[in-house]
């Protein structure tokens, strides 16, 4: 086992934006959870027991149809959280959450979330704001699914993923992207080929490198920009505070295999 440095809770923008006293209250109850590539964090019908705040992982939320077809409706990274039903009032959602880029998340158990909800403090306000941004993303996905080509949607998808990473490499096959966009793998192949020929990306066997981000944005549909702009209005980036010193004291948890 190597001793890689633990990710810090402040890598998650929502946690980072909290006032020092709120951080001091909450952080002792956080648990660090490694999120391996392609692991399932949630499956329809189950009950979520934690809210997850990703630090360096990306999670996709997808709906599965009766015939097995699927579509991703949302991408969550360190700008957000997973498990809104815990404070919105439901037990779960008819969706599935899959780790799209390996990393970690800090999680807060349900009772603590409830406690914080009742306290009616800063965390609740942030969670609700994030939820509103989330709705925008889902809605724009609906519009995009209706009106835009696979080419455009692939660009949007790559950008959504890029924004939540600190580097420019994505680990996902065209088959996987097809599942996320709800289109055929061959359709993704065609679109990816065009992008590669234009020098926007390069890829091989599940490893995609983004070479020209500006061009990618230019080739994407407006949906990416609309959501980004709206999110920035709702969740303006707040300077990270440094409060916790002893990250090492936070326990590490292993997700049960699903």
Judged by the rule CB under 7 A, the positions of this chain that interact with DNA are 148-151, 173-175, 182-187, 189-190, 192-193, 196, 203-206
Residue in 6, 34, 110, 136 binding a copy of itself, rule: CB under 8 A: 136
Kindly tell me which of 186 and 199 has the beta carbon lying closer to a copy of itself: 186
Q: Check if the beta carbon of residue 58 is closer than 8 Å to that of residue 164.
A: yes
**The entry of a copy of itself, DNA, none that residue 151 binds, CB within 5 to 8 Å by partner kind:** DNA
Q: Within 13 Å and on the Cβ side, how many CA atoms surround 165?
A: 20
- CA atoms of 141 and 70, how far apart (whole Å): 13
Q: Sort 40 into a burial class: Cβ within 10 Å, 0-12 / 13-18 / 19+.
A: middle
CB 125 to a copy of itself: min, Å: 6
Residue in 6, 25, 37, 71 binding a copy of itself, rule: CB under 8 A: 71
* 143 in contact with a copy of itself (CB under 8 A): yes
Q: Check if the beta carbon of residue 23 is closer than 8 Å to that of residue 241.
A: yes
* 202 in contact with a copy of itself (CB under 8 A): no
Residues 101-130 that bind a copy of itself (CB under 8 A): 118, 120, 125, 128-129
Q: Sort 23 into a burial class: Cβ within 10 Å, 0-12 / 13-18 / 19+.
A: buried
- Cα torsion angle, 83, 124, 6, 208, sign: positive
CB 47 to DNA: min, Å: 31
Q: Within 13 Å and on the Cβ side, how many CA atoms surround 166?
A: 9
Kindly tell me which of 89 and 251 has the beta carbon lying closer to a copy of itself: 89
Q: Angle at Cα 34 formed by Cα 92 and Cα 55, nearest 5°? A: 80
**The entry of a copy of itself, DNA, none that residue 196 binds, CB within 5 to 8 Å by partner kind:** DNA
CB 8 to a copy of itself: min, Å: 26
Size of the site for a copy of itself (CB under 8 A): 43
CB 239 to DNA: min, Å: 39
Q: Check if the beta carbon of residue 24 is closer than 8 Å to that of residue 240.
A: no
Given its phi and psi angles, is residue 86 left (phi above 0), alpha (psi -120 to 50 degrees) or beta? alpha
CB 93 to DNA: min, Å: 24
Chain residues that interact with a copy of itself, rule: CB under 8 A: 63, 65-66, 69, 71, 73-74, 84-85, 87-91, 93-95, 118, 120, 125, 128-129, 131-132, 134-136, 138-143, 145-147, 182-183, 222, 226, 230, 233-234
């Amino acid at each position: 086992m190597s001793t890689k440095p633990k990710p810090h809770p402040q890598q998650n923008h929502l946690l980072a934006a909290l006032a020092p006293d709120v951080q001091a209250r909450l952080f002792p109850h956080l648990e660090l959870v490694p999120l391996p590539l392609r692991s399932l964090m949630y499956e329809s019908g189950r009950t979520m027991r934690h809210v997850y705040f990703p630090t360096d992982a990306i999670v996709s939320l997808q709906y599965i149809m009766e015939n097995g077809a699927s579509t991703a409706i949302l991408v969550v990274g360190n700008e957000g959280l997973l498990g809104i039903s815990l404070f919105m009032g439901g037990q779960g959602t008819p969706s599935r959450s899959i780790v799209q880029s390996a990393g970690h998340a800090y999680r807060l158990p349900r009772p603590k979330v409830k406690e914080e909800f009742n306290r009616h403090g800063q965390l609740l306000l942030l969670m609700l704001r994030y939820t509103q941004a989330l709705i925008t993303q889902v809605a724009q996905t609906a519009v995009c699914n209706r009106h835009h080509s696979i080419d455009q949607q692939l660009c949007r998808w790559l950008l959504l993923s890029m924004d939540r990473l600190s580097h420019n490499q994505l680990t996902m096959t065209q088959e996987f992207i097809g599942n996320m966009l709800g289109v055929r793998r061959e359709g993704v192949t065609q679109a990816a080929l065009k992008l590669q020929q234009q020098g926007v990306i390069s890829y091989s066997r599940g490893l995609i490198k983004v070479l020209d981000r500006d061009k990618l944005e230019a080739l994407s549909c407006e949906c990416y920009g609309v959501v980004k702009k709206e999110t920035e209005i709702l969740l303006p980036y707040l300077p990270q505070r440094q409060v916790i010193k002893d990250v090492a004291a936070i326990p590490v948890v292993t997700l049960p295999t699903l």
